[in-house]
Amino acid sequence: MRFSRLPKSIRKDILRAYIIITFILRLSRVQEIFSLCMPFRYNIFSKMENKKRQGHMKSKVYFLPLDRLGEFDKAVSGTGIFDRFEKGDRVALKLHFGSMGHDNTIPAGYISGIISVLLQKGCFPFLTDTNVLYRDDRDATLTHLEVASKNGYDRLGTPIVIAGGDNSDNSVSIKGKSKYYDEFHIAREYTEVEGMIALTHFKGHGLACIGGTIKNLGMGCASRKGKFAMHANITPDIKKKKCIGCGLCVKKCPAHAISLVKKTASINQAKCIGCAQCVHTCPHGVIGIPWFSVTPQEFQEKIAEYANCARNLFGKKFFAVNFLVNITSLCDCETNPGKKIAPDMGVLFSCDPVAIDRACVDMVTAAQGPDIPAGEEKFSRTRPGSHPHFQLDHAEKTGLGRNDYEIINL
């Protein structure tokens, strides 16, 4: 039957239905087009969001010049930086106690102001570091405490804790997915306290390029196993010609990975768990760290990931202090950290480990050094292929902080 011959009322109904169906189909097409645009919209919005965050969330870095360090309490009182700590909080003052051979570390007197503010708030501050991976005065608790004492830290009247135990194996494994790790090994004490203030003498570093807050947190809070996991991709090195076959390392290896082959120690790579105990066990220094099994970039990125894990333990109860004094191209752990590469400047505070280290690199770059002129980056010359950006950029990617900062002069 033809449409025109249908009764008028039915034609009207059919036309109405046609209009409604067409409208619905068009609407669904619009929705389809709209939905096709969604990822694009999402990209636009996330970029806008990032820009917004970049615009509004520059990290604050406070700067106190050295000649005003005596006014510490007054200078920091307005920043609110200590408000994050409460009465009863145990606060780890994480530092590097320096060396027996020279005085290149944070002068003990510089941190007394921080301790006194914490004590006034009813907190329990303590000075702390972990035993180191390599053979040194700071690789065992008693000799480490001697270093702290020699550099005047015992005179502050604050408890000193060498975290992770004498063997640096008292640690907690923390799960976390990152570029290099799915598990981090952190000295147990740092997982048990409420807060941390990272006190760092900012300087260069032979392997990490810069020794700032990121390194103080990343390498400094790790147990020996964690430190080894940052330093090496392979098992410890054995200098076979020096081995006298005493078998001590065989007895002490917790994974039964070492055996004597023709009276010489040999590591079974499949069994080794990378705890680095053998490095300390061998009385003849035969077993060592394969220092160059990681590239400078890998090493710095690994430190950044460990720093992020350590930092996350403290939530809001964290801030960092970098001391820009005695700035050398090598670390305080070296027998000779070398001569100064920039003048003494002052003290920086921030809740952002990336921003504070970035600010220090920028200030040293801007300064006129005895050998390197103002405007030239001064740390990357120590080890070919290294650059502060490796550490700082990867740290930002992990979520540790931001490279974008503003300096607030106190």
Query: Total residues contacting ligand SF4 (rule CB under 6 A)?
Result: 27
Looking at 34-42, 237-245, 318-326, 380-388, which segment touches ligand SF4 (CB under 6 A)? 237-245
- Nearer to ligand SF4 among residue 266 and residue 312 (C-beta): 266
Told to check if 245 binds ligand SF4 by CB under 6 A, we report yes
**Which residues ranging from 256 to 295 are in contact with ligand SF4 (CB under 6 A)?**
257-258, 265, 267, 272-278, 281-282, 284, 286-287
- Nearer to ligand SF4 among residue 124 and residue 180 (C-beta): 180
Told to check if 222 binds ligand SF4 by CB under 6 A, we report no
Cα separation, 329 vs 203, whole angstroms: 6
Told to check if 240 binds ligand SF4 by CB under 6 A, we report no
Told to check if 410 binds ligand SF4 by CB under 6 A, we report no
**Exactly one of 6, 27, 44, 244 binds ligand SF4 (CB under 6 A); which one?**
244
CA dihedral 39, 42, 44, 49 (to 10 degrees): -160
- Nearer to ligand SF4 among residue 252 and residue 397 (C-beta): 252
Interface characters, 131-170, with ligand SF4 (x: CB under 6 A): ----------------------------------------
Told to check if 235 binds ligand SF4 by CB under 6 A, we report yes
Name the minimum Å distance from CB 273 to ligand SF4. 5
Helix, strand, coil share (%) of the chain residues, nearest 5:
40, 20, 40
What is the token pair recorded at 223? Answer: 């147990």
Dihedrals phi, psi of 159, to nearest 5 degrees: -55, 145
Told to check if 115 binds ligand SF4 by CB under 6 A, we report no
Name the minimum Å distance from CB 186 to ligand SF4. 18
Name the minimum Å distance from CB 171 to ligand SF4. 13
How would you label 315-351 residue by residue, b for 16+ Cβ within 10 Å and e otherwise?
Answer: eebbbbbbbbbbbbbbbbbbeebeebbbeebbbbbbb
Cα separation, 50 vs 281, whole angstroms: 50
Told to check if 249 binds ligand SF4 by CB under 6 A, we report yes
Dihedrals phi, psi of 305, to nearest 5 degrees: -70, -40
Told to check if 111 binds ligand SF4 by CB under 6 A, we report no
Strand residue runs (E) in 18-159: 59-65, 90-94, 124-130
Cα separation, 286 vs 306, whole angstroms: 28
Told to check if 44 binds ligand SF4 by CB under 6 A, we report no
What is the token pair recorded at 391? Answer: 């550490």
Told to check if 232 binds ligand SF4 by CB under 6 A, we report no
- Nearer to ligand SF4 among residue 205 and residue 224 (C-beta): 224
- Nearer to ligand SF4 among residue 93 and residue 272 (C-beta): 272
Told to check if 236 binds ligand SF4 by CB under 6 A, we report yes
What is the token pair recorded at 242? Answer: 């020096």
Listed in sequence order, the residues at least 6 apart from 241 whose beta carbon sits closer than 8 Å to its beta carbon are none
Q: Strands 195-201 and 90-94: what pairing?
A: parallel
Cα separation, 101 vs 147, whole angstroms: 9
> From the centroid of its chain, how far is CA 329?
19
> Nearest CA to 353 among 220, 159, 226?
220
Residues lying near ligand SF4 in the complex (CB under 6 A) are found at: 235-236, 243-249, 253, 255, 257-258, 265, 267, 272-278, 281-282, 284, 286-287
